[in-house]
Amino acid sequence: MESVKKANQRLKNYPALLAKCSVPAAAYAACVTTDLNVSHKMCEKEFQLFKECLQKAASEMKTKL
């Protein structure tokens, strides 16, 4: 059950992680919602910036994603 506790704690950290990365998240969301025909890797640059931000924020908070 220890793994379940750890997973729940990581999930509780997500709002804080997303708050720290609100600007890249908004840019990625804006890119994805500009066109109804979303294609693979259409917003790759925005996604990578968002992903890097989340990884950096998780590292600063000493948690995993």
pTM for the model stands at 0.83
pLDDT of residue 51: 97
At 37-56, the pLDDT tens digits run 888 889 999 999 999 999 99
- Confidence band (pLDDT; 50, 70, 90) for 65? confident
pLDDT for 50: 97
Q: Give yes or no for a contact between 27 and 50, defined as CB atoms under 8 angstroms apart.
A: yes
35 pLDDT band (50/70/90 cuts)?
A: confident
- Segments making up each domain of the chain, as ranges: 2-60
Spacing of C-alpha 14 from chain mean position: 8
Query: 3-state secondary structure string, 1-65?
Result: CHHHHHHHHHHHHHHHHHHHCHHHHHHHHHHHCCCCCCCCCCCHHHHHHHHHHHHHHHHHCCCCC
